[in-house]
Structure 1
Amino acid sequence: MRVPHGRGLVTGLFLHRNGPRQEIDIEFLGRDTTRMLVNVFYNPGAAGTRLEHGYRGTPVILDLGFDASDAFHDYAIDWQLDGIRWQVDGVTVHERFLWDPTPIPDQPMELNVNLWSSESVEFAGPFDEKKLPAVLEVASLQAQNPADA
């Protein structure tokens, strides 16, 4: 992916489900595309459970060492039963293990990619309309079940 730069913009690459809500995130805040935010949301229960709030991991902002808006890079979420590893260009940049501080999601999720403008100035900065149109470029996407590897 190559992400757009601009205050108020948020680019997401994430796994998600509702009922119960569980999520594993990679997000880029357009105000500073040299950093990447990772996070986990977890609600317990069997499929169909109406829990849309609950355990939320501590968001972590990682310094990339490059500007994600300048060139394409590979981003990955390696989701296993005992932990999650976030990777950039094939290198693990962050790990979270069971109950550290959030349980590992345990329900099937879908892969999502999006670009949106946030109304939260604290989260993404004040929206800069002069940066429109904003373009998120995706060269390829791959989802793989470890059992199929």
Structure 2
Amino acid sequence: MTMAQTHTDCNPLNRTDCPSMEALGGNVTFNFNDTIDNAIWMQQNAGEMGQDDEDGAYFTILKSGQSPMVQSKFYMFFGRVSIIMQAANGTGIISSAILQSEDLDEIDWEFKGGKSNFVYSNYYGKGDNTTNDRGEDHQLDFAPQNGYHNYTIDWQKNQTRWYVDDKQVRELKFADAMGGKRYPQTPMNIRLGIWSGGDKSGNNQGTVDWAGGETDFSKAPFTMNVRQVYAHDYTSAKEYSWEGMDGSGDWEKVKVVAGTSDTLKDAESPHGIKDRYNALSKTAKIAIACSVLGFVVLCALGALFYFIRQRRAGRREFLAHQAAEQRENAELLEYKQQTGITGKPGYNRI
């Protein structure tokens, strides 16, 4: 269903002025335990989102009406997406990882918080929801809410496959989707988020029933976590254009603009000190290591020189002090001899 994440800003089947879409045009791994790059991902909707070093990005529902999500600014024209994630618990709570186009082609992974040991797959062509025979439940030997697993969609021109931890659980042939007319086939972006299908204030009873029942928000928070996303665009391009598209939404009418996308350039450029260091050549890393080692050696030599110099200065001061004492003792002895003082206790006879 993914109702909270499904929308389009400009449907090219109904309009002729829809803007071009930036392509990914390559393959990138996004680690969500780092700060989400706002140049690549857009955060949307009410709710709480953030990052954790161990659990990655978190999407949290605190109350009714919330559905936090992120969606990529880049699009893929057929490709592979793998998401390492942990679904949220909670009756009626839906964790989702989907691909969707602006003309409402869609491929889904969905997780019902009140139904453990299952994951739900679905697809849509051109937003057509007149039938309810596209979705399938897949029984698992684990609970998606209790650990991190890899959920993959491999979307090709002639078929789409869904994998859980590299094990195929479903295949959709092009011809099986109304002879291809309802097969997802236009450029799609990635949308990750959580919503409450069991929220009666915003959903009809059919959706509430599908989600597993009404959500009890007194049991909030409900949290979904994503550690990593791997995205591979099977088309090499700078952008995808709707120029020349008609009402069919046929993939062959999508215009591919050659070049390297800004998204791919940004994704491949290092961010932060650690990434910048890792991006250096081996020679550069050796040069930096030698420079650091040289600096440490110089500091050590400087400290040793200072210690030796201070020690010598201390010895000179000791010898000078000793010489001064000897002079004072000699002067005292001479004085006693001149005055007749023997230095013994008592008095001298007269």
**1:3, 1:33 within 8 Å by CA — same for their partners in 2?**
no
Off by >6 Å, runs of 4+ in structure 1: none
Whether 1:35 aligns to 2:110 is: no
Q: Secondary structure at the match of 1:61?
A: strand
Match of 1:141 among 219, 226, 229: 229
Tell me how far apart the structure 2 counterparts of residues 68 and 82 of structure 1 sit (CA, whole Å). Answer: 29
Considering fraction of residues, name the structure with more helix: 2
How many matched pairs? 139
Counterparts of 1:1-149 in structure 2, within 5 Å, are: 1-18=85-102, 20-43=103-126, 52-53=127-128, 58-102=134-178, 103=180, 104-118=183-197, 119=203, 120-124=207-211, 125-147=213-235
Q: Secondary structure at the match of 1:53?
A: coil
Tell me how far apart the structure 2 counterparts of residues 133 and 54 of structure 1 sit (CA, whole Å). Answer: 31
Q: Deviations over 1:28-87 (max 9, x none)?
A: 0111031111111002xxxxxxxx436765111110121001110000100011111101
State the match for 2:4 in structure 1: none
Q: Secondary structure at the match of 2:223?
A: coil
TM-score by length of 1: 0.85
Tell me how far apart the structure 1 counterparts of residues 173 and 161 of structure 2 sit (CA, whole Å). Answer: 9
Q: Secondary structure at the match of 2:210?
A: helix
State the match for 1:47 in structure 2: none
Q: Secondary structure at the match of 1:5?
A: coil
**1:42, 1:55 within 8 Å by CA — same for their partners in 2?**
no
Q: Please tell me the residue identity of whatever aligns with 1:12.
A: S
**2:91, 2:112 within 8 Å by CA — same for their partners in 1?**
yes
Task: Give the CA RMSD over aligned residues.
Answer: 1.8
Query: Structure 1: where are the runs of 5+ without partners?
Result: 44-51
Q: Deviations over 1:68-117 (max 9, x none)?
A: 01110000100011111101111111111113245321100000111011
Question: Looking at both structures, which has the greater relative contact order when contacts are Cα pairs under 8 Å and sequence separation is at least 6?
Answer: 1
Considering fraction of residues, name the structure with more strand: 1
State the match for 2:244 in structure 1: none
Taking a change above 3 Å as real, the CA distance of residues 24 and 146 of structure 1, as seen in their structure-2 partners, is same
**2:154, 2:162 within 8 Å by CA — same for their partners in 1?**
yes
Taking a change above 3 Å as real, the CA distance of residues 54 and 134 of structure 1, as seen in their structure-2 partners, is closer
Tell me how far apart the structure 2 counterparts of residues 99 and 85 of structure 1 sit (CA, whole Å). Answer: 14
TM-score by length of 2: 0.38
